Structure 1
Amino acid sequence: MRGHSAGASQRNDDHLSDMTGFGSNPGALRARLYRPDNLPGQAPLVVVLHGCSQNAAGYDHGSGWSKLAAELGFAVLFPEQQRANNANLCFNWFVPGDIGRDSGEALSIRQMIEAAIVTHGLDRKRIFVTGLSAGGAMAAVMLATYPEVFAGGAIIAGLAYGSASTIPEAFDRMRGHGGPSRAELQRQFRQASPHKGPWPRISIWQGSADITVVPANADAVLTQWQSVHGLGERPTRTENVDGQTRNVWSDGKGRDVVEIYSIASMGHGTPLKTTGDDGLGKAGPFMLDVGISSTRHIAQFWELNKPEVRPTAKSEAASGAALQPFEPKENPRAVRVDPAPEPVNVRSSAGGITKVIEDAMRAAGLMR
């Protein structure tokens, strides 16, 4: 699950700012944020998790998420692993203390999300998470442990939640050896949180020639999401998209809720299309230009390219979407975490920021 480490040229292209003071941070992760200029109120948030040996800026540079955010109008949060936690900079998707609801790295990422929402007035109903490899496995962790937080997710060359709990098991699962049964994976997924639905929509991406995280892992991810969405094994339809196979499952209302792309002859990495009018990102080790942009297609599946239609209070209550964590009474957009200076006042002072965020954390049960 090694990815490429960002070099000096990528650091020069770093569009991200540091976000500090976002909670107790039990997983000791770094938080980096991209917030486009003139971001509208109640904008969506995409959480992006890098692969092993990568960092936030390098993965952004390759995948193009910040460029697409500026184009479509959403914020991007990049949790970043630290070498003190994992020598290869992998998120610890197989460590029990880091993958449970309200513990370790999973809680750190949840705290970052809450702080970004509160600080920038983002839309709680349009929070999404994606990642590559170890980051894809950690995205699966976040979707299993906090499904109520996310409207959608995307797992690229990742692994199913609960598939490993030790380093030897992790390597075995990556290679497709052993692992919990289909029924056990579904059971672990359902026990990861008290959530009973509705469930996020999920996009799964896998290279057919990946020998680092073999395709059987994508099948294991798929079975967990088929189960919670109540879907059959056969897809609703199969399509050819940019020369690649896309299988889609729709729910009883005809809404596409699960998709899986199998990228022919692709090894381990994030699928890119870097040329043409819709080109995005930059190819490199484990950032693979195969003529299809997973970044663009994932955003389209999540409907980030469509104007939002706000639900009525009645429909929110019916769907359960109205059951949201605390939001502060004061204007959250008055508080910033990016480096741009602001006039000194009560709301933009360090103490004011910290209090608003900590109050939100406690009300949401994310801090004591």
Structure 2
Amino acid sequence: MYVYLAEKKQDKAPIIVAIHYCGGSATAYFTFNNNKYATLADAKGYIIIYPSAPSSGGCWDVASKQSLTHNGGGDSQTIVNMVKYAVDTYGGDPERVFATGTSSGAMMANVLAGAYPDVFKGVTAYSGVADGCFYVSGATAGTSSPGWNNACANGQSSKTAQAWGDLARSYYPGYTGSYPKVMIWHGTADTTLRYPNYAEMLKQWSNVLAVDFSKNVSNTPEAKYTESVYGDGTKLLGFSAQGVGHNVPIHEQVELDFWGI
């Protein structure tokens, strides 16, 4: 893990976990897409954790039962341990912990929302898949190459909202508390994790968060983006980027506004 501490950190600072894409690293994601997470941290006083995937290919384990399960081990619990370390060591606020990620990092953000809803208050997924969609039978945590699920990647894994919701809830059996607010971004021209995954993610979290689709807003937050609002827009938002491929630009300020930072 790498940690970025704001020049004027809040005494009890929000924590953002910024999770890199497959083949990436913590240091690569620090400058990915010229993002402004660090600059905004200096202005707002939050802490950023940049984890690096331990696999040889730099992909996150979102395929094994261990990583998909609360306190089951794997990469997801490792990231949670990083959060606990930041709380204890740097004065992070355990009540204001958020995760954001791109591609494999987006998949992990969704996994964290399902397996550790007691830790995270909000997550953002740029070009990801639904929580549990990448599960591969027999995949083992700690291997050099986490499993790859072609059907999911190609947008061929479709479930009802209830089935997706049940899957996310199954990774923390017995949990009765609230789940984090979720923001989803996806490009219509994505050929790596294809665009149908966007609808599957929205189905999943609309069920988990018990919010129904309300409206679409064109050209929001910019031209050729369509915002999908669920409920009153405080728990679930989606952004469809027309003509954009797998590399959806990061919209840091939109995330921070959504999280209340």
- Calculate the TM-score normalised by the size of structure 2: 0.88
Q: Is the 8 A contact 1:163 1:180 kept in 2?
A: no
Number of aligned residues: 246
Matches of 2:210 and 2:3 in 1, distance apart?
35
Counterpart position of 1:206: 186
- What secondary structure is seen at the aligned counterpart in 1 of 2:184? strand
Structure 1 position 99, deviation (Å): 2.3
Higher deviation after alignment, 190-199 or 90-99: 190-199
Match of 2:142 in 1: none
Normalized per residue, which structure has more strand? 2
Match of 1:60 among 30, 46, 52: 30
1:218 matched residue in structure 2 = 198
TM-aligned CA deviation for residue 212 of structure 1? 0.7
**Preserved CA contact (<8 Å) 1:99 1:105:** no
Give the 3-state SS of the residue equivalent to 1:148 in structure 2. Answer: coil
**d(CA) in 2 for partners of 1:149 and 1:65?**
21
Show the counterpart of 1:89.
58
**2:214 corresponds to which letter in structure 1?**
P
Which protein shows a greater Rg? 1
Please state how far the C-alpha of 1:36 moved relative to its aligned partner. Answer: 1.2
* Separation in structure 1 between the aligned mates of residue 258 and residue 97 of structure 2, nearest angstrom: 13
Maintained 8 Å contact 2:161/2:207: no
TM-score (norm 1): 0.63
For residues 24-82 of structure 1, the C-alpha deviation after alignment (integer angstroms, 9 at most, x for no partner) is: xxxxxxx1110112212011000111001111111111233212211221000111112
Counterpart residue number, 2:74: 104
CA-CA distance at 1:118 after TM superposition: 1.2
Task: Tell me: CA distance 1:109–1:220, structure 2 relative to 1, closer, same or farther (3 Å).
Answer: same
CA contact (8 A) 2:2 2:50 kept: yes
Q: Distance in 1 between matches of 2:203 and 2:81?
A: 29
Aligned to 1:231: 211
Corresponding residue for residue 153 of structure 2: 174
Q: Given the superposition, is the C-alpha separation of residues 138 and 113 from structure 1 closer, same or farther in structure 2, using an over 3 Å criterion?
A: same
Counterpart amino acid of residue 92 in structure 1: D
Q: Where does structure 1 differ by over 3 angstroms across 4 or more consecutive aligned residues?
A: 178-183
Q: Distance in 2 between matches of 1:92 and 1:271?
A: 24
Partner of 2:254: 297
Q: Displacement of 1:188 after TM fit?
A: 1.1
Structure 1 residues 64-121: Cα deviation after superposition (integer angstroms, max 9, x where no partner): 3212211221000111112xx2x32100111223222111111111111011011122
Out of 245, 250, 270, which is 2:226 matched to? 245
Shift of 1:249: 1.6
- Structure 1 CA distance, aligned partners of 2:147 and 2:47? 37
**Cα root mean square deviation, aligned:** 1.8
Percent identity among equivalent residues?
24
Instruction: Give distance in 1, aligned partners of 2:157 and 2:222.
Output: 34
Q: Does 1:256 align with 2:234?
A: yes
* Deviation string, structure 1 residues 116-158 (Cα, Å, up to 9, x no partner): 0111221122110011111100111111001121111101101
